[in-house]
Structure 1
Amino acid sequence: MISRGIRSVRDVVFQENSLTHKVGLVIEPGNWEEADPFLLMAEDFFVRGTFGMHPHRGIETVTYVIEGKLEHSDNKTGDGELLPGDVQWMTAGRGIIHTEDPAVGDTVRSLQLWVNLPSDKKMTEPRYQNMRAQDMPIREEEGATIRVFSGSSMGVTAATKNHVPVTMVELNVDAGATVMQDLPGSYNGFIYVLEGQGAFGKDNTIGKAGQVLWLERGLDTEQTELTIHATEQLRVVLYAGQPIGEKVVARGPFVMNSDEEIVQAYKDYHEGKFE
């Protein structure tokens, strides 16, 4: 199996968007080819009332709660809540209107990833998959616990439904321990370090809390693996997926393949067709 390296390391810079919201862009929008199939990812610290009801079309949002209780509601399926360690995989598809709000008195710290949808899935039916941390499959290794939210880790596989093949795992690794994560060679992916420090990939590239590390691009014919060695108690999330390779046109909460489709999305939203 071919060992992957790390192609870049970047510190995530945080800014105060408002009195109720601090945000750091783990993936900055606009680098569509480099990040494909991912569009953006933000680490948010926010309180109740920060975000109101808002629409999406043409994407999936993957929300991972790090701290606090996050309540959500929408115009399709009703209400629910996410606790620390939980993930919500929302397929906006042809259109959904929703809100995400911390519980009263809570400050939520979360990661939200936008996954692109291919052109033939842009108008698919919306759906939610709420993945409770305690219900997800776990792979145990000496000094390491790997929770599989999507895809697989060394044969441990999640039942999550994907329009675009995506592996999402959370790795908790004790200081001094080493663990491997396997990935199809065609997948493009990255690691975000939540806590601690480690050495990653074939060149033992150092990554620490608050940094995003992009994996070297592989080849379609390869099965690859990534080595993760914790130099301190380490907690990371890894996301990797199959690139789509299509034109991206993004405007606000809508991501489509052409300007005309974006105009139609706004028209449909204003005419109440997301209901």
Structure 2
Amino acid sequence: MSNQRFSQRSIIQRTFGSTHGYITRLMSPSDLGQIVKPFVFLDIFSLNLRDGNPLDNMPLHPHSGIATITVITEGKVHYDDPHSGSGSLTYGGVEWSCAGGGMWHGKELSVNTGVPYIQGFQLWIALPREVENGLSESHYIEAKNMHRTGPAFIILGSYEGVQSPVPAPKGMNYLLVTLSAGEIWTYQPPLGHSVAWLAVATGQLSTGEDSLVNAGEMVIFEQGETPLTLKTSGNEKVIFVLGSAVPHPYTLHLGNYSVHTSAQALKSGEQRISELGKNLREAERKKTALGIIPVFR
């Protein structure tokens, strides 16, 4: 593979985002999400549990019009849901929460103090018009049940004939990739996937002869369907996520926690989450022995 040539697909935006506590916000719907929609929001979280559990301070909060995808890159978190059962998410494990017309969440995962460090990404995608005010649902898929091809877990979509078990809308791929030191890997976007970006969790990645992406950094590529040839830089493995998609054709209509395709759809979503918010005590009564409050819908 050493004779593989690097593509010259340019990086048009790069960011280390802004960090508050254990969360770094790399993208929001009001900034870079406008460029790579349907991908509209990306956080990378890094929890050092030696000094307590920062998830205890995560408040319940609402969403509509989007789906959130949480993927673990290091460590372990636990879930306990009356509809999905209980278990653990480790590297490659996924929480998929499709807000649809409305949900509240924020305390549906817990950590074990025996695990010193947890890292992962949370991504939002803007839902298509036909489902943005539809049913809300959640799935917890452990790493052993996720599908992969080569070095990549297929978190959303389909790649090289491998389909993700996550019931996401068509027209988008989201991959979690680990490359060993010196490894080269090429991603060929599916037909129509002219949107592309990646974000590095650990290590340093080369995307071209003079272009490096560092840990904690997100980059956006120019639109097109040219393959992305990526190589580790240095003597350590690189863990990163990569997204590609058919562009979202709608203007984003934004609420505090909602993203919709029209003002009317946003109004409907916010009405629904307001109605749910009046019954949050019911959600808190469903707290499990692990301190988990399942997604409330």
Counterpart selection for 2:140 from 127, 130, 134: 130
Q: Which residue number corresponds to residue 65 of structure 1?
A: 72
* Aligned-partner SS, 2:199: strand
Query: Take 1:156 and 1:264, find their aligned partners in 2: how far apart are those partners?
Result: 36
Amino acid at match of 1:271: E
Q: Which residue number corresponds to residue 229 of structure 1?
A: 231
Q: Which residue number corresponds to residue 39 of structure 2?
A: 38
Q: Which residue number corresponds to residue 289 of structure 2?
A: none
- CA shift, 1:55, in A, is 2.0
* Aligned-partner SS, 2:130: helix
**Structure 2 residues without counterparts, runs of 5 or longer:** 1-5, 48-53, 278-295
Task: Give the structure-1-normalised TM-score.
Answer: 0.81
In 2, are the aligned partners of 1:56 and 1:254 still within 8 Å (CA)?
yes
Tell me the alpha carbon deviations over residues 147-204 of structure 1, each in whole angstroms, 9 at most, x when there is no partner. 2222233333334322242212222212222111111253212111112122215x55
Amino acid at match of 1:61: T
Deviates more, 1:59-68 or 1:26-35: 26-35
- CA shift, 1:14, in A, is 4.2
Amino acid at match of 2:19: Q
Deviates more, 1:169-178 or 1:150-159: 150-159
Counterpart selection for 1:112 from 122, 139, 155: 122
* Aligned-partner SS, 1:269: helix
Structure with more of its chain in strand, by fraction: 1
- CA shift, 1:122, in A, is 0.7
Query: Take 1:272 and 1:29, find their aligned partners in 2: how far apart are those partners?
Result: 23
1:160 aligns to 2:162 (yes or no): no
Amino acid at match of 2:105: H
- CA spacing shift, 1:130–1:91, aligned 2, 3 Å: same
Q: Which residue number corresponds to residue 196 of structure 1?
A: 203
> Identity rate of aligned residues, in percent?
22
- CA shift, 1:115, in A, is 0.1
**Structure 1 residues without counterparts, runs of 5 or longer:** none
- CA spacing shift, 1:56–1:174, aligned 2, 3 Å: same
- CA spacing shift, 1:249–1:73, aligned 2, 3 Å: farther
Tell me the alpha carbon deviations over residues 28-57 of structure 1, each in whole angstroms, 9 at most, x when there is no partner. 331343121111111123523222322211
- CA shift, 1:266, in A, is 3.0
In 2, are the aligned partners of 1:71 and 1:79 still within 8 Å (CA)?
no
Counterpart selection for 1:56 from 59, 63, 79: 63
Counterpart selection for 1:103 from 105, 111, 120: 111
Amino acid at match of 1:35: V
* Aligned-partner SS, 1:271: helix
- CA spacing shift, 1:153–1:119, aligned 2, 3 Å: closer
Q: Which residue number corresponds to residue 87 of structure 1?
A: 94
Query: Take 1:251 and 1:129, find their aligned partners in 2: how far apart are those partners?
Result: 25
- CA shift, 1:82, in A, is 4.2
1:264 aligns to 2:264 (yes or no): no
- CA spacing shift, 1:261–1:159, aligned 2, 3 Å: closer
* Aligned-partner SS, 1:121: coil
